[in-house]
A and B are shown apart, each in its own frame.
Chain A
Amino acid sequence: MAITSSWRAYSDSKAMRASAIKRGTPRGIGERLIEFSLTGCGLLSVLTTLGILSVLVIETIPFFRQVSLAEFLGDSQWTPLFAEKHFGIWPLLVGTLMTMLVAICVALPLGLFAAIYLSEFAKPRTRQIVKPALEVLAGIPTIVYGYFALVVVTPMLQKIVPGLAGFNALSPGIVMGIMIVPMISSISEDALHAVPNGLREGAYALGAGRNATIFRVVLPAARGGISVAVLLAIARAIGETMIVAIAAGQQPRLTFDPRVPVETMTAYIVQVSMGDTPHGTLGYQSIFAVGAALFVVTFVINALGHRMARHAVSS
């Protein structure tokens, strides 16, 4: 048979191969080169972090040579572009916190209830359609939300809320909240999903109704994951830029009134960048100082969130 003869050839060629397992060719060098460059790719992310830190530090140091930390944290006015300069971060910080609070007040109930719906009520098919649809909200560029806040939401709110200015903290906050809904809902839903079914069945077996089961058993068991969602959402809202730059105004003022124009930290960076502020001036350095403050705030909140997430997983 033809096959048999080819088998013979097989065996012959095998016999002719000398010690074939020893390293001979420099093939290993190519492999190592590839591993080396892939390691480089991995380390690039560490370099990015170092880059962010050093850029912020390098430009912030000269800023604090001219502006004392006491003024930065103590003054209640922020007027770096005026003749009489004040560098108190509070107006920007309060503007940031206020828009963030409005956003969370919108996003938390919507996101949490949406998560409950998806995890506890929705049929798998509904879920399959609704989840990606919600994700679309997070994929829309923020500039589009900014337009929406300025052109649609503010005029609508002006009919309801007396004394609402054309630029305000309320409208961009609400729009930002809508944008953040999928972030809260998807992390919370994962947390609700992770609650073992045995707990639900245990509650039902005791005669608990659906609401009691959700509120007394499921939500408490998932509270770790939900807190993570809220923390990450807070960090996202604090760092959000275009919506507030467009619709909140650019007037740094220390106020807790959501109806009047304010300026956030991010919006200030954009405002200065849009103008012509030469390198080396105090104005130029001030955006890095504000950026550093923004970085610290978001980093702390994010790190807290990630830490809690690890904790929630391990427990």
Chain B
Amino acid sequence: MRHATRNRRRERFWESFFRKICLAAVALPLLILAGLLLNVLLDAAQRIDWSFISSYPSRKPALAGILPALVGSFYLVSLTAAIALPLGIGAAIYLQEYRGRSRIASLIEVNIANLAGVPSVIYGLLGLGLFVRTVGMGRSLIAGACTLALLVMPIVIMTAREALRTVPNTLREAAFALGATRWQAIRRVVMPQALPSILTGAILAISRAIGETAPLIVVGALTFVTFLPDGIDAPFTALPIQIFNWVSRPQKAFLYNAAAGIVVLLATMLVLNAIAVYFRHRLQRRWS
């Protein structure tokens, strides 16, 4: 035993060393994240104020604001949610509640897994070829929203399905035993139970839609818009598009605008997530 102690001591040194390496692997990305946020905040401080939010874009960085992009993003995401949530949750209900293991269902399942891995820029090409050209929506708000809806649909379906899966089967059986039809059981018993988790998934999907840039560029969002969209067929811009436009300018001052835009974008996402957490908490507390 004594003999082995020196070996063991060396081993223990490497063990604690390796543990520190692993800890560093966790800490480093988080520190970088913190650094990134801090840096953006500092840069944004140069520009962000009320006039930044309430102004239209301008060729002068100090005057340029983000209003049309903010409004555009709001419309775009609302439309996207209105399209993607019912369809996606419907698909999840179909997969989880109606066709447990049928061939169609497993085909759809494999398909959704594959769709989730398709690069977002390719959804842009789909939107351009299908909605903008073939359907004839033009480079409009609704074309952008349809594109984003298809893009986030796999997220909605997968999270909603997971939420439905956690509802115990005994509750469905209880509903059936009372004489509920399948849909009644889903609507009155399964859905209320799964709602908090479905909501979380929905927010996740919407957050993704707010930040998406590439598909909107391909579909044809404008980069310099001095008006607010007046209908679903209007040309539009969105927060990330405006940020991209400012990042691409050589002048340093526009970079501050970009940073300020990023802060607005992240703040919007943060608020959205906070709302989701709040609702989730309230719904869950009501029942226990």
Contact = CB atoms under 8 A, between A and B. Distances in A.
- Genuine A/B complex: yes
Interface of A: 27, 30-31, 34-35, 37-46, 48-49, 51-52, 55-56, 58-59, 109-114, 116-118, 120-122, 130, 133-134, 136-137, 139-148, 150-152, 178, 181-182, 209-211, 214, 232, 235-236, 238-242, 245-246, 266, 269-270, 273-274, 279, 287-288, 291, 294-295, 298-299, 302-303, 305-306
A41 B266 contact: no
B32 to A, nearest CB: 6
Q: By DSSP majority rule, is chain B's interface helix, strand, loop, or mixed?
A: helix
Given A42-B90, A134-B30, A266-B121, 9 more contacts: A55-B128, A134-B26, A147-B247, A148-B36, A239-B118, A241-B120, A269-B124, A270-B121, A295-B119
A151 B15 contact: no
B22 A116 contact: yes
A279 B213 contact: no
Interface in B17-61: 18-19, 21-26, 28-30, 32-33, 35-36, 39-40, 43
Interface string B91-126: 101110011000011011011111101111111111
Contacts of B244: 143, 146, 242, 245-246
B126 A143 contact: no
Contacts of B266: 140, 144
Nearest to B19: A121
Interface in B194-223: 204, 207-208, 210-214, 217-218, 220, 223
Contacts of B124: 269, 273
Contacts of A136: 33
B243 interface: yes
Nearest to B242: A143
Nearest to A57: B129
A34 B183 contact: yes
Contacts of B262: 143-144, 147
Nearest to B89: A41
Contacts of A133: 30, 33
A90 to B, nearest CB: 19
Contact-residue bracket for chain B: 35 or more
Nearest to A146: B247
A241 B94 contact: no
A263 to B, nearest CB: 13
Given A113-B21, A146-B247, A266 B157 contact: no
Contact of B213 (A139, A142, A181, A287): A142
A151 B11 contact: no
8 contacts: A42-B95, A117-B26, A140-B266, A141-B211, A147-B262, A151-B39, A236-B117, A240-B119
Contact of A52 (B87, B118, B208, B218): B118
Given A45-B112, A46-B111, A141-B210, A211 B14 contact: yes
Contact of A147 (B90, B157, B243): B243
Given A110-B28, A137-B29, A241-B119, A51 B15 contact: no
Contact of B93 (A31, A38, A109, A303): A38
B90 A37 contact: yes
A48 B150 contact: yes
A246 B248 contact: yes
Interface string B233-256: 000000010011001100000010
A51 B258 contact: no
Contact of B91 (A41, A111, A210, A294): A41
A151 B110 CA distance: 40
Contacts of A37: 90
Contacts of B269: 139, 141
A209 B246 CA distance: 54
Nearest to B255: A151
B172 to A, nearest CB: 15
Nearest to B248: A246
Contacts of A113: 21-22, 24-26
Contact of A55 (B23, B104, B111, B130): B130
B240 A298 contact: no
B143 to A, nearest CB: 13
B265 interface: yes
B114 A239 contact: no
Nearest to B183: A34
Contacts of A110: 25, 28-29
Given A45-B153, A49-B114, A245-B214, A269 B247 contact: no
A55 B126 contact: yes
Nearest to A250: B248
B94 A52 contact: no
Contacts of A52: 118, 122-123, 125-126
A142 B217 CA distance: 14
A181 B22 CA distance: 13
B88 interface: yes
B133 A270 contact: no
Given A147-B247, A270-B214, A38 B118 contact: no
